[in-house]
């Protein structure tokens, strides 16, 4: 089973999985591959690091006033 | 074993054996950050990630203080990402609230094996924001919105130096993508369209969409690593 998928195929799956755009079938497939092919977890970690960097593309903004209070009111009601 | 990602080629190579965690990163002396600064930045970043992971564990046990700390550490990023997608302050605020409500109820669903805490959080944010965009059926504007963001996402004085440096590096990396690559990234990352939807919109085969996403992400990583003055060898043992 180890060579069922090429490096490139696993990389493509890992990249789109990290991106969060795999369809449900491919997502399930990749999660199965993750359980037996070490390349999958390695590439996923690799692409997750890029996702991490991508998060810096959006500038942080000052939080809206009152948001924290609204959240904690919700938390009190949903303990 | 040694997994080696060769950034001069846009493909990853590996030797055999079984996996583990990344052990070593080798820094070289290129530009932007000194090796020491890059290393400090990386260490601080990893520390922050560990803290967020711990907080998520505590939140899953209904720890309100942990939730408060997690919120304070991440709200500006969540709101910034939400605003980036929605371009509307009220809606962005609603999405940010929904995201943190979701975290409060579902922190136990976070799986450190599948993503880093910040990536997980921002993926939830993007998904929720994009759902809102689709609900209001706003016409999709692809054009150069990514470039616009690079310009309008001006540095916030409250940003930490490291976050600000990372953003500059990311912007520079983005600016080096071709227009087609930017378009695919915009549709996949910011709008979360499926492969087939992107294929239709861009007019390339599904297989090309998949490979473009892979190539672009490797390219970005390659540029970022070069910018940060590092060569990268990941050793797994």
Supply the mean pLDDT for chain B: 75
CB atoms within 10 A of CB B161: 9
A50, A20, A29: which is closest to B5 by C-alpha? A50
Q: How far is residue B71's CA from residue B217's CA, in Å, rounded to a whole number?
A: 29
Chain A closest-CA separation from residue B94 CA (Å): 9
Alpha-carbon torsion angle B7, B12, B18, B19, nearest 10: 50
Residue B14, SS3 per DSSP: strand
Q: Which of B192, B218, B220 sits opposite A20 (nearest CB)?
A: B192
The confidence band for B166, taking pLDDT boundaries of 50, 70 and 90, is confident
Can you give the pLDDT at residue B168? 80
The confidence band for B143, taking pLDDT boundaries of 50, 70 and 90, is very low
Q: B1-23, pLDDT tens digit by residue?
A: 334 344 334 334 443 333 333 22
Query: Residue B203: pLDDT above 80?
Result: yes
Please judge whether B93 and A67 are an interchain contact, meaning their C-beta atoms are less than 8 angstroms apart.
Answer: yes
Q: Are B88 and B58 in contact (CB under 8 A)?
A: no
Can you give the pLDDT at residue B110? 94
| More confident call, B69 vs B20 | B69
Query: Residue B33: pLDDT above 80?
Result: no
Please judge whether A8 and B214 are an interchain contact, meaning their C-beta atoms are less than 8 angstroms apart.
Answer: yes
Q: B181-202, pLDDT tens digit by residue?
A: 999 998 998 888 999 999 999 9
Q: A11-61, pLDDT tens digit by residue?
A: 999 999 998 899 899 999 999 999 999 999 999 999 988 888 887 777 788
CB atoms within 10 A of CB A57: 23
Q: Are B118 and B49 in contact (CB under 8 A)?
A: yes
CB atoms within 10 A of CB A74: 15
Residue B3 φ then ψ, to 5°: -95, 125
Hey, is the C-beta of A64 within 8 angstroms of any chain B C-beta? yes
The confidence band for B38, taking pLDDT boundaries of 50, 70 and 90, is low
CA within 13 Å, CB half, B218:
21
The confidence band for B174, taking pLDDT boundaries of 50, 70 and 90, is confident
Classify residue B192 as left (phi > 0), alpha (psi -120 to 50) or beta.
left
- B95 to chain A: closest CA residue: A67
Query: Residue B137: pLDDT above 70?
Result: no
Chain A closest-CA separation from residue B44 CA (Å): 14
Query: Residue B169: pLDDT above 50?
Result: yes
What is the pLDDT averaged over residues B26-34?
38
Task: Please state the length of chain B.
Answer: 237
Say what percent of chain B tops pLDDT 70: 65
How many pairs of residues across A and B have Cβ atoms under 8 Å apart?
177
Can you give the pLDDT at residue A78? 77
Q: In whole angstroms, how far apart are CA A29 and each of A58, B2, B198, B212, B214? A: 31, 26, 21, 20, 18
For each of the domains in chain B, give its residue range(s) and CATH number, in order of start: 34-138 (1.10.1740.10)
Residue B180, SS3 per DSSP: helix
Q: Which of A42, A49, A67 sits opposite B19 (nearest CB)?
A: A42
Can you give the pLDDT at residue B93? 95
Q: What is the largest CA-CA distance in chain A?
A: 54
B chain contacts of residue A71, beta-carbon cutoff 8 Å: 71, 97, 100-101, 104
What is the pLDDT averaged over residues B159-169?
69
A chain contacts of residue B155, beta-carbon cutoff 8 Å: 59
Can you give the pLDDT at residue B42? 64
* DSSP of B50-92: HHHHHHHHHHTTT-HHHHHHHHHHHHHHHHHHHHHHH--HHHH
What is the pLDDT averaged over residues B76-101?
93
Say what percent of chain B tops pLDDT 90: 41
Please judge whether A46 and B114 are an interchain contact, meaning their C-beta atoms are less than 8 angstroms apart.
Answer: no
Can you give the pLDDT at residue B36? 61
The confidence band for B150, taking pLDDT boundaries of 50, 70 and 90, is very low
């Amino acid at each position: 089973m180890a060579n069922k998928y090429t490096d490139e195929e696993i990389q493509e799956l890992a990249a789109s999985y990290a991106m969060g755009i795999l369809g449900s079938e491919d997502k399930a497939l990749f999660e199965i591959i993750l359980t037996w092919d070490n390349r999958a977890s390695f590439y996923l970690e690799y692409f997750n690091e890029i996702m991490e960097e991508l998060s810096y593309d959006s500038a942080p903004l000052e939080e809206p006033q009152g948001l924290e209070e609204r959240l904690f009111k919700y938390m009190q009601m949903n303990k | 074993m040694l997994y080696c990602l060769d950034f001069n080629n846009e493909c990853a190579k590996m030797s055999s054996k079984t996996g583990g965690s990344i052990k070593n990163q080798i820094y070289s002396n290129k530009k932007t950050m000194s090796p020491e600064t890059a290393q400090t930045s990386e260490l601080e970043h990893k520390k922050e990630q560990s803290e967020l992971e711990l907080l998520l564990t505590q939140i899953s046990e209904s720890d309100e203080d942990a939730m408060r700390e997690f919120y304070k550490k991440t709200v500006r990023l969540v709101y910034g990402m939400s605003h980036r997608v929605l371009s509307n302050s009220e809606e962005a605020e609603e999405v940010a609230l929904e995201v943190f409500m979701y975290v409060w109820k579902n922190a136990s669903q976070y799986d450190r094996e599948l993503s880093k805490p910040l990536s997980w959080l921002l993926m939830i944010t993007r998904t929720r924001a994009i759902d809102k965009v689709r609900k209001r059926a706003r016409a999709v504007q692809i054009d150069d919105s990514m470039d616009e963001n690079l310009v309008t996402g001006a540095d916030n004085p409250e940003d930490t130096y490291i976050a600000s440096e990372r953003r500059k590096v990311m912007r520079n990396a983005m600016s080096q993508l071709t227009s087609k690559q930017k378009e695919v990234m915009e549709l996949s990352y910011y709008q979360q369209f499926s492969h087939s939807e992107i294929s239709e919109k861009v007019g390339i085969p599904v297989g090309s969409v998949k490979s473009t996403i892979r190539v672009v992400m490797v390219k970005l990583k390659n540029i970022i690593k070069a910018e940060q003055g590092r060569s990268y060898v990941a050793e797994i043992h």
